[in-house]
Amino acid sequence: MKGLSLFVGVLIASLSSIAFAADPIVLKFSHVVANDTPKGKAAEFFKKRAEELTAGKIKVEIYPNSTLYKDKEELEALQLGAVQMLAPSLAKFGPLGVKEFELFDLPYIFDGYEQLHAVTNGEVGKKLLAKLDSKGIKGLAFWDNGFKSFSANKPIKTPADLKGSKMRIQSSKVLEAQMRALGALPQVLAFSEVYQALQTGVVDGTENPISNLYTQKMHEVQKHLTLTNHGYLGYAVIANKAFWDGLPADVRGHLETAMNEATEYANKIAKEENDDALAKVKASGKTTVYEPTAAEISAFKKALVPVHKEKEDRVGKETLESVYKATGFDPSKL
């Protein structure tokens, strides 16, 4: 009897390994931006390396541009296991209950990518990704996009210029406070809805890294863009935890390697992609691009940095202090 069950066990194991050899594990990776963006390109890079390294044991299917799910739905789909991987922007984790991620939305908190990496590659970054475990999510990496600028149908030179304007934001309480600090009226919309909302006047303006603005053609429906670079927009690459932990160890190891390589690639191309998109926006002649003076930037900082204190409880006082320590940011010196 014992011999028979052993035989059956061995038979099942070998049959499943035959099935495994024949059928690759499908990993659906959904995202909301165009292929031709830092995130879109990094996702393609990950797919290529994951499939090469696992010699076809993994098949990565990428669904860009909200073709499968919009912002909120994609997070639900990941938790339910309908997709296995996403890279939502850091501004979209609040509704999941991990509001500390909104620290990345604080205006002017990072003066460039180097300061940002001091946080994402350091203790705070590690702690944030670990916080996702209890939500059934495995945090894998941070991928860069870039620094956001304001756009609208009127010139924006001072904080007062956005007063009363309806501004589209991502689903972040910090971004809501940021817009209110300008006297603007924040409106949360899914990324896939922004172009039409701008075109039809549902909202007057928005904020984006230029790669997103350009690839969604938002510059065609916004007359003015001011290079305020007032906040950061980047991503956490995440997987369904049960899926990730359930992968054969060798496959998971290869995916980790592919992810490390894709992260290096993403963070290398992000600035170039945004610079390139800015050149294209300028060349299109469809919107007026304004480069604010140092005094104008300083006025935006004065108006917006108080949001750090206002939202300290939301992002966590201790976390905020760790970020200041890692970057050298001093809110009293503006």
Binding site for ligand LMR (CB under 6 A): 32-33, 89, 145, 170, 191, 208, 212
**Closest residue by Cα to residue 70 from 99, 105, 96, 32:** 32
CB 313 to ligand LMR: min, Å = 24
Closer residue to ligand LMR in complex, CB, 232/243: 232
Closer residue to ligand LMR in complex, CB, 64/251: 64
Contact status, residue 177 vs residue 303, Cβ threshold 8 Å: no
CB 208 to ligand LMR: min, Å = 6
CB 246 to ligand LMR: min, Å = 27
For residues 94 and 237, give the distance between their C-alpha atoms in angstroms, rounded to a whole number: 15
Closer residue to ligand LMR in complex, CB, 31/131: 31
CB 141 to ligand LMR: min, Å = 15
Give first-to-last CA distance, the chain, whole Å: 79
CB 81 to ligand LMR: min, Å = 21
For residues 42 and 265, give the distance between their C-alpha atoms in angstroms, rounded to a whole number: 7
Closer residue to ligand LMR in complex, CB, 58/213: 213
3-state helix, strand, coil in the chain (%, to 5): 55, 20, 25
CB 234 to ligand LMR: min, Å = 9
Q: At a CB cut-off of 8 Å and minimum separation 6, what does 24 contact?
A: 56, 57, 58, 59
Closer residue to ligand LMR in complex, CB, 272/321: 272
> Torsions phi, psi of 227, nearest 5?
-80, 75
Chain position whose Cβ is nearest to ligand LMR: 89
Q: At a CB cut-off of 8 Å and minimum separation 6, what does 98 contact?
A: 128, 131, 132, 135
CB 77 to ligand LMR: min, Å = 15
Reported residue count of the chain is: 334
Closer residue to ligand LMR in complex, CB, 149/170: 170
For residues 302 and 284, give the distance between their C-alpha atoms in angstroms, rounded to a whole number: 33
Closer residue to ligand LMR in complex, CB, 145/274: 145
Contact status, residue 160 vs residue 231, Cβ threshold 8 Å: no
Contact status, residue 120 vs residue 263, Cβ threshold 8 Å: no
For residues 95 and 12, give the distance between their C-alpha atoms in angstroms, rounded to a whole number: 43
